[in-house]
Amino acid sequence: MSYLNPGLPVPVAAPDGLDAPYWEAAARDVLMLQFCNDCGTYQWGPEWVCHRCHSENVTFKEIEPRGRIYSYERVWHPVHPALNEQGPYLIVLVEFPNYDGARMVGNLLGDPEQDVVIGSEVEAVFEHHPDSDPPHTLVNWQVV
C-alpha cells in the first residue's frame, strides 16, 4: 500500500552512490544514519565529510528506527503533478535524540488532518515497492 499517489519520481541512490547504504538498509527494514568514525557524531543527510570535524572517515550505522517529531508541515498544494488529487498530507522532521539530534524528513502516516504534537514519539514504517523500476523502499513515520 502506498501513502501517496503513484507517479512520483522513484527515490534512488545518488549517482555517486553516497547514500546507497541507506537505501539498501531501508529495503531490509533497517534505518541507518551516517556516522563519523573519528569524532563519533551521527549526521543526516549524507556527505563525503563529517559536518562536525570535517573528517572523511564516515560510514553508515544502524540506529533504532524511532525518534520524535521536531517539526511538521501539512501540505495542501500539489508539489508534483502526481499529487494533483492528493492532499492534504503530512511531512514531519524527525529528530533522533539518541543519535546527536540528527534529523530526517518523511511522511507521517494516518489521517492527514490529525493533530500533530511536536515532541511526539514516532517509529519508522518501511513502505516497499518491489515492482517499481528500480525497486525501492520509502521510510515513513507513524506516531507511537
Residue 16 predicted with pLDDT over 90: no
pLDDT number for residue 1: 59
Q: Where are the domains of the chain?
A: 20-143
Q: Residue 89: what residue type?
A: Y
pLDDT number for residue 10: 67
Provide φ and ψ at 91, rounded to 5°: -115, 135
| Whole-prediction pTM | 0.89
Assess contact for 25 and 136: CB atoms under 8 A. no
Q: Which of 122, 2, 100, 117 is nearest to 11 (CA)?
A: 2
What digits encode the pLDDT tens for the residues 23-57? Answer: 999 999 999 999 999 999 999 999 999 999 999 99
What digits encode the pLDDT tens for the residues 66-94? Answer: 999 999 999 998 777 777 777 798 999 99
